[in-house]
Amino acid sequence: MPDTIIADGLTRRFGDFVAVDQISFGVRPGEIFGFLGPNGAGKTTTIRMLTGLLPPTSGRAQVAGLDVAREPREVKRRIGYMSQLFSLYGDLTVEENIEFFGGLYEVTGERWTARRDWVLENAGLGALRHRPTGTLPLGLKQRLALGCALIHEPSILFLDEPTSGVDPISRRNFWALIGEFARRGTTVLVTTHYMDEAEHCDRLALMNRGRLIGLDTPAGLRRSMTDPILAVTTANAPAAVRVVRELEGVRDVTMFGRVLHAVVENEGSARGAITTRLGQAGIALSHLDRIEPSLEDVFAEWIRREGGAVAG
C-alpha cells in the first residue's frame, strides 16, 4: 500500500531563518506517526506545510496521493486537522460548533445528524450539547475539537499538540480514542512533546532545529541507545550534577527532579568514579542503579549529539 503522507525534501525559510530543513519521510496508512521535538524544532511548521496552511519554500508534500501545493483544497477535503491552540468558537454551543464544521465539510441532512450524534457520543458531550463551548473544561474541548476534525470521516488526521495543557487522565482517554481510530484505518500524524505519549505511536520522528534527526519505532529508538545509563539518587542533586558532569567517562548528565541520569561509557568504571567523587564532595548517595533508557533519555542523547536544542 502506498504511503498516505509523503514529505520529500520539505523546507521552509522565514527570511534568513530556516525553520524546516529538508525533511523527508513517509507515513503508512493506518499508522500513528509521532513528531517529537523541543519547542521551536519546526514541528508545527511541518504540519502546516503538510496540511496546505503554509506553502513550502522548497520540496514537496503529498497527502492522499495529491500534491498539497497544487491541490490544497482537494487535500483539505480528505483530511482532518486539530490546531495547537483550541480553536473552536467559544461563544457557540457544542452543537452549533458541530453544525458549523459540518457545513464547512458539506456534511448535511441525515448524514450530519448521524455524525453529530457520533461526535457527541465520542466526546461524552451528549448532555452538554447546548452548552457554550467556552465554558467547558479543556479536556472536553479537545475531545470536541477532535470530533469536529473528524466530522467528515477523513482517512487522515493531523493533530498538532492536541493534549497540551490537558490533565493526565484526559490525556490518556484522548490517546485511547486516537488508538481506536487508527485501528479502524485512519492515518494519524501527531506532534507532541510529552514523552509518555510518544510511546503510543507506531513510529516516531525526532526533530531538532528544523531537521529530522531520528526516525524509528519507540522500541527501535530505545535500542539505538547503546551507552548505559546510571540513575544517581542523592540528597543534593544540583551539586551532584556539577560533580558528576566533570567526570571522565561521563557523556552527559540530566537532572530529573532529585535523580540524575548519567550517560556513561563504561558502567563499571563509572560506578566507581561516581561513588568516589560524590563521597569526596560530601554529597550523600542513596542509590546508584543502571536503568533502561526511556524515550526521554534517548531524546536527550540524540539532541546532544546534534549539538543541543534550540534555545527557548
Q: What is the binding site for another protein (CB under 8 A)?
A: 48, 51-55, 73-74, 76-77, 79, 81, 83, 85-92, 96, 99-106, 108, 158
Backbone φ and ψ for 132, nearest 5 degrees, come out as: -60, 130
Cβ nearer to another protein, comparing 54 with 309: 54
Short-list 138, 184, 187, CA closest to 164 = 138
Question: Least distance from C-beta 289 to another protein, angstroms?
Answer: 44
Cβ nearer to another protein, comparing 158 with 299: 158
Question: Least distance from C-beta 188 to another protein, angstroms?
Answer: 15
Cβ nearer to another protein, comparing 61 with 283: 61
Question: Least distance from C-beta 97 to another protein, angstroms?
Answer: 9
As to burial, measured by CB atoms within 10 angstroms (0-12 exposed, 13-18 middle, 19+ buried), residue 304 is: middle
Cβ nearer to another protein, comparing 119 with 298: 119
d(CA 229, CA 206): 20
Cβ nearer to another protein, comparing 40 with 249: 40
Torsion 31-36-39-40 (CA) sign: negative
Cβ nearer to another protein, comparing 48 with 171: 48
Amino acid, single-letter form, for residue 312: G
User: What are the distances in angstroms from CA 45 to CA 42, 50, 56, 111?
Assistant: 5, 9, 9, 34
Residue with cell 520539505: 10
Question: Least distance from C-beta 35 to another protein, angstroms?
Answer: 17
User: ∠ at Cα 266 (263, 268), nearest 5°?
Assistant: 115
Question: Least distance from C-beta 157 to another protein, angstroms?
Answer: 11
Question: Least distance from C-beta 189 to another protein, angstroms?
Answer: 13
d(CA 246, CA 76): 53
